[in-house]
């Protein structure tokens, strides 16, 4: 398996624009996680899914953020409208129940 | 609620010296514990994990960690540091809810 695949690897956008981050989990994994990493706040769990259903979205910072998982092999994290404080590295990870999470390479988002 | 505290945001050791990275956790249920490593501009990679059974767990690259319930600790060690060990290390805890909570990370520097 190629591992967790995220796209794009880098994204630069202007404030107010919509940003969509994409993730393909490892085949067969039934948990999918979105994390955000910043210098100030470290690694924060934004939301996670089990069998394509959102289980806990308490980490989503505000209504500008939304995440979907339309099928077992694809998830998106959308920010609309984007703001400079959203600049961070966003990681997607997947796992099986009670096993370790496998992380993608991340998407480095810069909002100018 | 679960939490992780990593003592020391920066640790510096000489090549060949012992590496000790400290992690204390808080969990209301028996925890699953993990150590991840992150190299620059990359995602997180699992070093080792404790779920049940033997409290001393061995991981990749010569690292090991010991689960001490009485001390709520899961410190990471390596007998002899190598230059390639320079990275950021994250301790994480999860419960049956599958939600991984990370510490703030420890940046390990190896001096030649």
Q: What is the mean pLDDT of chain A?
A: 95
**Distance of residue B52 Cα from the nearest chain A Cα, in angstroms:** 11
A48 and B CB contact within 8 Å: yes
Whether the Cβ atoms of residue B6 and residue B103 lie closer than 8 Å to each other:
yes
pLDDT in tens, B17-58: 999 999 999 988 888 999 999 998 889 999 999 988 889 999
State whether A33 and B102 contact (CB < 8 Å).
no
Q: Using beta carbons and an 8 Å cutoff, which residues of B are at the interface with A?
A: 32, 34, 36, 42-46, 49, 51, 90, 96-105
Nearest to A43 by CA among A29, A30, A56, A33: A33
Nearest to B34 among A56, A97, A100 (CB): A100
What local confidence, expressed as pLDDT, does residue A32 receive?
A: 96
Whether the Cβ atoms of residue A83 and residue A68 lie closer than 8 Å to each other:
no
What local confidence, expressed as pLDDT, does residue A98 receive?
A: 76
Nearest to A101 among B96, B100, B105 (CB): B100
**Distance of residue B45 Cα from the nearest chain A Cα, in angstroms:** 7
Label residue A20 exposed, middle or buried (CB < 10 Å: 0-12, 13-18, 19+). Answer: middle
pLDDT in tens, B52-97: 888 999 999 999 999 999 999 999 999 999 999 999 999 999 876 5
């Amino acid at each position: 398996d190629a591992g967790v695949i995220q796209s794009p690897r880098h994204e630069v956008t202007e404030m107010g624009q919509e940003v969509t981050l994409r993730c393909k989990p490892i085949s067969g994994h039934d948990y999918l996680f979105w994390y955000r990493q910043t210098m100030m706040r470290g690694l924060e769990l934004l939301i996670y899914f089990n069998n394509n259903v959102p289980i806990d979205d308490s980490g989503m910072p505000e209504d500008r953020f939304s995440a979907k998982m339309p099928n077992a092999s694809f998830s998106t994290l959308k920010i609309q409208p984007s703001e400079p404080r959203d600049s961070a590295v966003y990681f997607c990870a997947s796992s099986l129940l009670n096993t370790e999470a496998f992380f993608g390479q991340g998407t480095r988002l810069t909002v100018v | 609620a679960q939490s992780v505290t990593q003592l020391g945001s920066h640790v510096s050791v000489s090549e060949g010296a012992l590496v000790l990275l400290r992690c204390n956790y808080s969990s209301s249920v028996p925890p699953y514990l993990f150590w991840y490593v992150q190299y620059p501009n990359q995602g997180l990679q699992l070093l080792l994990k404790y779920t049940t059974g033997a409290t001393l767990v061995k991981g990749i690259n010569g690292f090991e960690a010991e689960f001490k319930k009485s001390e709520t600790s899961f410190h990471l060690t390596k007998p002899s540091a190598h230059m390639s060990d320079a990275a950021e290390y994250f301790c994480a805890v999860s419960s049956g809810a599958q939600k991984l909570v990370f510490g703030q990370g420890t940046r390990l520097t190896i001096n030649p």
